[in-house]
């Protein structure tokens, strides 16, 4: 099937909801198609995840022309009891890379997945 991401087997550290939220934090006007490609999900899965996040108040959107502009509520507390008191902003600060680092990573370190502690920058607005 053309356009359907290659499936991933095995376990991962992050949920698809966290991946989608991080992609949106990185680009507040990203298209669902681009989020899906970045997260290796189908567009339908991303639409469902965005609906979940909006329903529970983690995310909202406004229409700007032909695109959506998303807004993340950085003060919203994560859902699981093990993360009691941990906010979306603190999670995103671990997951979101600034654009300069992303460009450097893709050019000079194609397989680098982490940043040195203390160098992350939140893209929440």
Write down the pTM of the prediction: 0.72
- Give 114: exposed, middle or buried? Use CB within 10 Å, 0-12, 13-18, 19+: exposed
Do the beta carbons of residue 35 and residue 42 sit within 8 Å?
no
Q: Hey, is 104 helix, strand or coil?
A: helix
Confidence tier at 100 by pLDDT (50, 70, 90): low
β-partners of residue 60 are 71
Query: pLDDT tens digits, residue range 12-41?
Result: 888 999 999 999 999 999 999 999 999 999
Encoded tokens for 74: 């950085």
């Amino acid at each position: 099937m053309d356009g359907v991401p290659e499936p991933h087997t095995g376990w991962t550290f992050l949920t698809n909801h966290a991946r989608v939220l991080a992609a949106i934090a990185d680009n507040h006007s990203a298209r669902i198609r681009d989020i899906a490609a970045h997260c290796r999900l189908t567009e339908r899965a991303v639409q469902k995840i965005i609906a979940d996040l909006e329903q529970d108040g983690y995310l909202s959107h406004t229409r700007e022309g032909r695109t959506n502009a998303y807004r993340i509520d950085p003060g919203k507390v994560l859902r699981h009891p093990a993360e009691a008191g941990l906010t979306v902003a603190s999670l995103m600060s671990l997951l979101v890379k600034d654009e300069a680092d992303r460009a450097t990573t893709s050019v000079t370190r194609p397989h680098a997945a982490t940043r040195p502690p203390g160098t992350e920058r939140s893209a929440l607005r």
